[in-house]
Amino acid sequence: MKRIRIKEVLQTSGTNQEILVKGWVRTFRNNQFIALNDGSCNNNLQIVVDFNSTPETTLKRITTGACISVVGNLIASQGKGQTVELVCKTLEILGDSDAEKFPLQPKKHSLEFLREIAHLRFRTNTFGAVFRVRNALAFAVHKFFQEKDFVYLHTPIISSSDAEGAGELFRVTNFDIANPPKTENGEVDFKQDFFGKPTNLTVSGQLEGELAAMAFSDIYTFGPTFRAENSNTTRHLAEFWMIEPEMAFFDLNDNMDLAEDLLKYVITYAFTKCHEDIEFLSQRLLEEEKQKPQIERSELSLIEKLRFCLDNEFERVTYTEAIEILKDSNHNKKKKFSYLIDKWGVDLQSEHERYLVEKHFKKPVILTDYPKEIKAFYMRQNDDGKTVGAMDILFPGIGEIVGGSQREERLEKLETRMKEMNIPTEELWWYLDTRRFGACPHSGFGLGFERLVLFVTGMTNIRDVIPFPRTPKNCEF
């Protein structure tokens, strides 16, 4: 007999058919009712066991966490809470679970505790929902780009360049770190290292992405990136997944249109595909917020927030306009920001981004044309000599979710800027070659996948939307 997944079972009507199901026991009530879950959805299938005809030894082994296989008759349920139930004919224990030792008790656990048992947290309702939504979003990203004929490009994980020049790098080496080979001057001799030069884990696939866009026109990457972020925040991971499209012939406006379309498309997809999970997560968030004081609670529920984001056009504002708004805000005047906004040119902190989105515009915002001093070397210089064609998309509760720009395609301007910023032009000869051979206006952006999953699931800590988070002092599992 072929196993049927519980999601499918729950969608059929109980018409006395014999079926086979397998899964993990969530609870076992009165030696009679098993709530069985197989991860296909959050709802459990109720299995009715006849304790008179079931051996005592078997009954004892039906414990929370145990894995079982059941053949039974699917019938319409008389009880409340479910439409069908399975009357057990034969039950086999596939894997025991010692109820005394199993860390997941059928009660509410804190998210912090569940992080410590991340290997088991998939078996809770919250994480079941979160990771099914994550899966739907990942699929939707590919679907969106494939429907537009973008080429999915695998950019390298090991790299010898630091795309951002930010220096938050994880080094890659096969040296014995305690005792690396040295040159005559006593410096580490990277010529003898595996790649013959210093290497690191990639912080972004953008530079390589640009190379491919100069042949395929439209490409995207979707892969892991690594940053030795020292900041221990709820929005930063040391290992995260990024989506980086790069488009030839796109200016900044085309770039913003694409990013907005992408976000709306994937949110809509997840919303439709995982409606029950998102309902559940919306309810979860409501419960969580009840613990908070009234003023800290969000005005909108998760579902309302998603709808709101889909139904409104993102507000497009220049950095200069945003600084004026922030400077004149009551928040700034009453010194409620940790970093007060006093002049043009300062970098925005997440408190400012969130003020613009949550308090001022009350919808997603795209900030454009930042001062060149606070942005990367490859962003296209505007005619004013002060700003670059950058665009960041800011989301409620998240802050920056997308960072992008039109790229500087003019060789001379690019080289000058690199020199000003101490970016080695010799090492990036291959990048500069694209500006020598058939350069064109082009644009791209990076979407942090976990920040997107945070937004759609309404979770508040980025550690809860990636299966096994890597953060400072934490690399368990």
Q: Which is nearer to ligand ATP, 372 or 451 (CB)?
A: 451
Shortest CB 335 distance to ligand ATP, Å: 23
Among residues 190, 240, 250, 355, the one that binds ligand ATP under rule CB under 6 A? 240
Which residues, numbered 115-154, are part of the site for ligand ATP (CB under 6 A)?
none
Q: Which is nearer to ligand ATP, 25 or 341 (CB)?
A: 341
Shortest CB 445 distance to ligand ATP, Å: 8
Among residues 47, 74, 137, 242, the one that binds ligand ATP under rule CB under 6 A? 242
Shortest CB 244 distance to ligand ATP, Å: 8
Which residues, numbered 399-418, are part of the site for ligand ATP (CB under 6 A)?
400-403
Shortest CB 53 distance to ligand ATP, Å: 54
Q: Please return the burial class of 153, using the count of CB atoms within 10 Å of its CB with bins 0-12, 13-18 and 19+.
A: buried
Contact partners, residue 448, CB within 8 Å, separation at least 6: 240, 241, 242, 400, 401, 402
Shortest CB 390 distance to ligand ATP, Å: 9
Shortest CB 86 distance to ligand ATP, Å: 42
Minimal CB distance residue for ligand ATP: 448
130 phi and psi angles, rounded to 5 deg: -60, -45
Gap between the Cα atoms of 79 and 228, Å rounded: 54
Q: Give me the 154-193 binding string for ligand ATP, x by CB under 6 A, dash otherwise.
A: ----------x-----------------------------
Q: Which is nearer to ligand ATP, 289 or 400 (CB)?
A: 400
Q: Which 3 state secondary structure label does DSSP give 250? A: coil
Gap between the Cα atoms of 306 and 303, Å rounded: 5
Gap between the Cα atoms of 414 and 407, Å rounded: 9
Q: Which of 339, 381, 350, 91 is nearest to 236 (CA)?
A: 350
Q: Which is nearer to ligand ATP, 254 or 400 (CB)?
A: 400
For residue 339, give the DSSP letter. Answer: S
Measured between its terminal Cα atoms, the distance across the chain in Å is 36
Tokens of 186: 């006593």
Q: Which is nearer to ligand ATP, 23 or 446 (CB)?
A: 446
Q: Which is nearer to ligand ATP, 24 or 222 (CB)?
A: 222
Which residues, numbered 288-347, are part of the site for ligand ATP (CB under 6 A)?
none
Contact partners, residue 241, CB within 8 Å, separation at least 6: 222, 223, 224, 225, 448, 449, 450, 466
Q: Which is nearer to ligand ATP, 183 or 231 (CB)?
A: 231
HEC string for 391-406: EEEEECCCEEEEEEEE
Shortest CB 399 distance to ligand ATP, Å: 6
Q: How many residues contact ligand ATP, by CB under 6 A? A: 15
Shortest CB 265 distance to ligand ATP, Å: 17
Gap between the Cα atoms of 332 and 335, Å rounded: 5
CB atoms within 10 A of CB 13: 10
Shortest CB 358 distance to ligand ATP, Å: 16
DSSP per residue over 163-229, as a string? TTS---PPEE--S-TTS--B-TTSSB-GGGSTTSS-EEE-S-SHHHHHHHHHHHSEEEEEEEEE---
Gap between the Cα atoms of 407 and 245, Å rounded: 13
For residue 70, give the DSSP letter. Answer: E
Binding segment (CB under 6 A) for ligand ATP, from list 229-237, 325-333, 365-373, 379-387: 229-237
Among residues 109, 165, 228, 229, the one that binds ligand ATP under rule CB under 6 A? 229
Q: Which is nearer to ligand ATP, 285 or 348 (CB)?
A: 348
Which residues, numbered 341-400, are part of the site for ligand ATP (CB under 6 A)?
400
Gap between the Cα atoms of 326 and 76, Å rounded: 60
Q: Give me the 436-455 binding string for ligand ATP, x by CB under 6 A, dash otherwise.
A: ----------x-x-xx----
Q: Which is nearer to ligand ATP, 282 or 349 (CB)?
A: 349
Shortest CB 466 distance to ligand ATP, Å: 9
Shortest CB 246 distance to ligand ATP, Å: 13
Residues that bind ligand ATP (CB under 6 A): 164, 227, 229, 236-237, 240, 242, 400-403, 446, 448, 450-451
